[in-house]
Structure 1
Amino acid sequence: MKQIDILVPCYNEEAVLPQFYQRTCAVIDALPDYAFTFIFVNDGSRDQTLPILRQLHEKDKRVAYVSLSRNFGKEAAMLAGMDYAEGDALVIMDADLQDPPELLPDMIAWWEKGYRDVSARRRRREGETFFKKWSSHVYYRLLKKLSPVPVQEDVGDFRLLDRRCVKALCSLRECQRYTKGLFSWIGFEKKEILFDRPPRAAGKTKWNYWKLFNLAIDGITSFTTAPLRIAAFTGCFLAIVAAIYLVFIVLRTLLFGEDVPGYPSLISLILFIGGVQFTFMGILGEYVGRIYNESKGRPPYIVGESTREKK
């Protein structure tokens, strides 16, 4: 009998955890040919998430949990769950039921056909604003153009991973992780399943626009150096334009004896170039900051409590 682990990162999910557990159990109980294990990762929740996980573990030995010492973020929580996974396959799901458990049979069926990474692609996203959908679409198109790795569009973390994929992801120990890109980076045979993503069953989303913006920056700086190249090309272009304009001013003064006019335009040009320089310094700083953080060698997470041994 094949073992399938279900990894569920949790941060303040007390309102939806019992409903998620019951609904997912109804699906996996109808699949008697597989042995399932829940791996809940409590990412430093401040509500009753951890006590609920303790109760579920006492009630059902299929439920295991890993509680981190503080909130390290979803990316680190997913890595922690992968580190503790032991099954032949691993399914990553959110606890808010926006990832329907009813897709599990289809995912398993495609996995049995030889696909090692079976992901759920969002066809429609209910409960999200037009701006969020539009900005997400623009971001993925931009990332696909900049990155040499073909990152999947409108595909989140909801997927089934074969054991080989899990091992490959666990071998990547970078601290500032962008797992959506790592799924594509490791390769392997992939299959996408279309689904309509429902709104949250309960509770509030933890992803505000600022967190999504930071995640987008992590995605770009993790998988491409294109911003640095753009900065270099833009700097060269501005330098050439400035040199041509300088030659033009000097020749006009020598030939026609005119004074050099344009104090306001000169100040505007200086301010523009200064703004461009500061922007590119910020881009360079993002990459240097990532190098600095990775050079410390700190672990991506620290476990405070766990019901199972690390593999």
Structure 2
Amino acid sequence: MDQLISIILPVFNEEAGIQTTIDTLLNYVEQQKERYELIFVDDGSKDRSIQIIEKSMNQYENIKLVKFSRNFGHQLAITAGLQYATGDAVVVMDADLQDPPEVIPKMIQKWHEGYDIVYGKRMQRDGETIFKKVTASAFYRIFKKMATIDMPLDTGDFRLMNRRAVNQLRKLHEQDPFVRGQVTWIGFKQTSVMYHRQERMAGETKYPLSKMIKLAVDGITSFSMKPLQLANIFSVVPIVSGIFSLGYLLISGTYSLASVGVTILLFTLGLLLLSVGILGSYLGRVLDQVNNRPRFIVSETEGFQERNIHHLHARQSQN
């Protein structure tokens, strides 16, 4: 029996380019020997993305759609797609064609060679600002130094995972998942394929600076305790500095009490606020877990067999 490959595509306001993505992927899968299902996960789009996808669904049975009740975020859209994917292997890629489908056969080949996870490693990133390239590169290297996992450098969410890897990811229930970190954490046999990340064909990036910062914070606080250790160090610095400064000023007698006092106070408050912010990031994650809310809400699914959906909901309720 032919192997089934599931392709998960998170979608958020991709009206300008989603039809091109659909046509490109359909053209690709028609030339492959494997069977494919295309699972679009709509992350609360406000444009015509859903209507365009649904129009294509009327013509092609291998297109499926998961609709969120609102915007829950890119990482949770990937997480939802993993819950609904039924393939022997699952590919995660962006819906803007920056991740080229031509790389998938290379991933499949590595999978057939015995690898459980094959991630795309970017050689070049077109259409991105110098600022984004520099900050992204810096994040991966800082993360590698701080984290308890050895996440590969210069990789995003574009990757192939076999069934047993996907089954393990489904068992993770973090409220703010950092998927690429989770994939590294579960282990198994992993490798990479090099590829050229293309420029977005249409529309605007869905990862502005604010979301990039949130993703970085989620990643670091998920897989590293070093910021907490830094907070403890920062708490000691102003105390020690204050003691030595006070001793020096008393001995030398050359000081302006008001100016020195204000300087030390501002320095101390800055470090304390930084420490509180770091602690708050971790406590926020604890609060999310304690609240135990659903990570996302699916308002509707289309294109799935009812038998599979009932089985999925039954399994989720047991978890």
| TM-score normalised over the length of structure 2 | 0.91
Post-superposition Cα deviations, 1:267-289, rounded to whole Å, max 9, x if no partner, equal 11111111111111111111111
2:316 paired residue number: none
CA drift of 1:239 comes to 2.2
1:264 aligns with one of 259, 265, 277: 259
Establish whether residue 289 from structure 1 lines up as the match of residue 284 from structure 2.
yes
Task: Identify the range of structure 1 (13-22 vs 42-51) with the bigger mean alpha-carbon deviation.
Answer: 13-22
* Partner AA of 2:284 in structure 1: G
1:158 paired residue number: 158
Which runs of no fewer than 5 residues in structure 2 stay unpaired? 313-319
1:23 paired residue number: 24
1:102 paired residue number: 102
The CA distance in 2 between the partners of 1:25 and 1:261, in whole Å, is 74
* Partner AA of 2:191 in structure 1: K
CA drift of 1:29 comes to 1.7
The CA distance in 2 between the partners of 1:245 and 1:131, in whole Å, is 39
Establish whether residue 302 from structure 1 lines up as the match of residue 297 from structure 2.
yes
Q: How does 1:7-22 map to 2 (within 5 A)?
A: 7-22=8-23
**The structure with more radius of gyration:** 1
2:208 paired residue number: 208
Task: Identify the range of structure 1 (9-18 vs 102-111) with the bigger mean alpha-carbon deviation.
Answer: 9-18
1:145 paired residue number: 145
| Structure 2 SS opposite 1:60 | coil
| Structure 1 SS opposite 2:58 | helix
RMSD of the TM alignment (CA)? 1.6
Are residues 263 and 170 of structure 1, via their aligned partners in 2, closer, same or farther at CA, if it must alter by over 3 Å? same
Post-superposition Cα deviations, 1:54-102, rounded to whole Å, max 9, x if no partner, equal 2222211111111111111111111111001111100111110101011
Paired residue total? 305
1:238 paired residue number: 238
Task: Identify the range of structure 1 (11-20 vs 131-140) with the bigger mean alpha-carbon deviation.
Answer: 11-20
Q: How does 1:247-258 map to 2 (within 5 A)?
A: 247-249=247-249, 252=251
2:53 paired residue number: 53
Q: How does 1:95-134 map to 2 (within 5 A)?
A: 95-134=95-134
* Partner AA of 2:102 in structure 1: E
Which runs of no fewer than 5 residues in structure 1 stay unpaired? none
Kindly indicate whether the alpha-carbon contact (under 8 Å) linking 2:19 and 2:53 is maintained by their aligned counterparts in 1: no
The CA distance in 2 between the partners of 1:226 and 1:190, in whole Å, is 26
| Structure 2 SS opposite 1:41 | strand
| Structure 1 SS opposite 2:57 | helix
| Structure 2 SS opposite 1:38 | strand
* Partner AA of 2:207 in structure 1: W
The CA distance in 2 between the partners of 1:233 and 1:9, in whole Å, is 40
Post-superposition Cα deviations, 1:198-249, rounded to whole Å, max 9, x if no partner, equal 1111111111111111111111111111111011022223323333344455
* Partner AA of 2:41 in structure 1: V
Instruction: Extract structure 1 runs of 4+ deviating beyond 4 A.
Output: 247-250, 258-261
| Structure 1 SS opposite 2:115 | coil
Task: Identify the range of structure 1 (289-298 vs 260-269) with the bigger mean alpha-carbon deviation.
Answer: 260-269
| Structure 1 SS opposite 2:300 | strand
The CA distance in 2 between the partners of 1:249 and 1:30, in whole Å, is 79
The CA distance in 2 between the partners of 1:114 and 1:2, in whole Å, is 15
The CA distance in 2 between the partners of 1:79 and 1:240, in whole Å, is 46
| TM-score normalised over the length of structure 1 | 0.93
Kindly indicate whether the alpha-carbon contact (under 8 Å) linking 2:234 and 2:272 is maintained by their aligned counterparts in 1: no
Task: Identify the range of structure 1 (22-31 vs 162-171) with the bigger mean alpha-carbon deviation.
Answer: 22-31
Q: How does 1:188-207 map to 2 (within 5 A)?
A: 188-207=188-207
* Partner AA of 2:283 in structure 1: V
